Homo-oligomer: A and B are copies of this chain.
């Protein structure tokens, strides 16, 4: 299915909000065989939206339009689609009563329900389970179109309805395999595969998808390709990569499964990442089977009082030091009674750097039944990047330690 996306909103062109639509649309719809052939961003202008919708509908089979259907005057996507279709807007009274009821719950008057109950004649309202504005769907010539709200969380929820409207992709059309790696750069991965004389079978393409935590390798097969040959190619790649290939799609899921398999528990102690490591680990449903908890010791006092780091060690070596990283990991393991604990202490920036410990300096500590230790890193980039890389490295260290640990 050839798809196109139209994103509506001055705010997207003006840079005041972050576009998360394209990624969500591609992620939700590509498993249903939709390939997005074009993405266009248009302003909140009736004429511009109508023109773009007509043009894209002529080129593709599925058009997803996001944004411009809210209750306020600057939202004109309803009008634009009516114009593109050459039909008037009609009120849907059932929808109107539903919106009024929702608004009344929040103590908001009914005035704004009127605009959001209007739909181009011949289109069908699409329920919005997480917000007020319903979407609508219809056909523009041979192209099926869906108009969804621009609020990313609502768009994402409603995309499921678009996906549900599409035929399920059959098993033998599963044309993609992803092998995630841990801490492996694109260049090094290519070298390993070259050294291992890996060549994808004829017809299968190999792509390198760089990621901060490690490149992902993607095999893509043509339609109707032999499943057995595909399986064999993935196996060959995994054999060459050995321990660098992750058993699951992400590092967090791989760490979780390795801990689960070994009956181990996990805890975290964080300073500069402020909770991001725990948050990343608990992104995955089921984390509670191994994750006991964590402490964010943002202040020195918290390091001492919460995790028993000695004030003398902080005084002598500074909070960002090998000694404190090790003490944090050991203290964290002890207070939570965990098999494995990881700690993070660093200078995320933009201020706080010194000649000895410039911004980006991070110590990551680790403690388990086999002992404890810490490694020093220097991550380049701004605050959020330093924090992200720190979390990736801490997860990598926890993963490697768990794999190496005996049974």
| Chain B residues within 8 Å of A109, by CB | 191
A44 to B178, CA, bound (A): 18
Q: A188-222 interface mask toward B, CB cutoff 8 Å, 1 = contact, 0 = none?
A: 10110000000000000111111110001010100
Complex contact B13–A35 (CB within 8 A): yes
Complex contact A288–B293 (CB within 8 A): no
A271 to B269, CA, bound (A): 15
Q: How far is the CB of A135 from chain B (nearest CB, A)?
A: 14
18 A–B contacts, CB within 8 A, in A order: A13-B26, A14-B26, A15-B27, A17-B209, A19-B23, A19-B26, A71-B186, A72-B187, A74-B207, A151-B211, A151-B212, A279-B279, A282-B296, A282-B298, A285-B351, A301-B337, A302-B336, A305-B335
Q: Which residues of A, 44-60, contact B by the 8 Å Cβ criterion? A: 44
| Chain B residues within 8 Å of A30, by CB | 14-15
Q: A228-272 interface mask toward B, CB cutoff 8 Å, 1 = contact, 0 = none?
A: 000000000000000000000000000000000000000010101
| Chain B residues within 8 Å of A299, by CB | 288, 291-293, 336
A residues contacting the other copy or chain, number (CB 8 A): 106
Complex contact B385–A153 (CB within 8 A): yes
| Chain B residues within 8 Å of A292, by CB | 298-299, 301-302
Q: How far is the CB of A216 from chain B (nearest CB, A)?
A: 7
Q: Which one of B185, B294, B297 contacts A132 once the chains associate, using CB atoms below 8 Å?
A: B185
Q: A1-39 interface mask toward B, CB cutoff 8 Å, 1 = contact, 0 = none?
A: 000000000111111111110110011011100011111
Q: Is A91 an interface residue (CB 8 A)?
A: no
Binds B, one of A77-85, A376-384, A393-401: A376-384
Q: Which one of B103, B178, B285 contacts A350 once the chains associate, using CB atoms below 8 Å?
A: B285
Q: A294-310 interface mask toward B, CB cutoff 8 Å, 1 = contact, 0 = none?
A: 11111101100110000
A398 to B212, CA, bound (A): 33
Complex contact A210–B150 (CB within 8 A): yes
Complex contact A297–B306 (CB within 8 A): no
| Chain B residues within 8 Å of A302, by CB | 292-293, 336
Q: Is A358 an interface residue (CB 8 A)?
A: no
Q: Which residues of A contact B (CB under 8 A)?
A: 10-20, 22-23, 26-27, 29-31, 35-41, 44, 70-72, 74, 103, 106, 108-109, 111-112, 129-130, 132, 150-151, 153, 156-157, 176, 178, 185-188, 190-191, 205-212, 216, 218, 220, 268, 270, 272-279, 281-283, 285-288, 291-299, 301-302, 305-306, 335-337, 349-351, 380-381, 383-385, 387-388
Instruction: Report if A27-B18 is in contact (Cβ < 8 Å); known contacts: A111-B191, A275-B270, A275-B277.
Output: yes
A106 to B186, CA, bound (A): 12
Q: How far is the CB of A255 from chain B (nearest CB, A)?
A: 14
Q: 15 new A-B pairs (CB below 8 Å) besides A19-B22, A108-B188, A285-B349?
A: A10-B207, A14-B30, A16-B176, A17-B211, A151-B212, A268-B296, A270-B275, A274-B279, A274-B282, A279-B387, A282-B298, A283-B384, A293-B298, A293-B302, A306-B336
| Chain B residues within 8 Å of A281, by CB | 274
Give the residue name and chain of the B residue nearest to A27 (CB).
B15
Give the residue name and chain of the B residue nearest to A391 (CB).
B279
| Chain B residues within 8 Å of A272, by CB | 282
Complex contact A287–B275 (CB within 8 A): no
Select the residue from A109, A282, A293 with max chain B CB neighbours within 10 A: A293
| Chain B residues within 8 Å of A293, by CB | 295-299, 302, 306
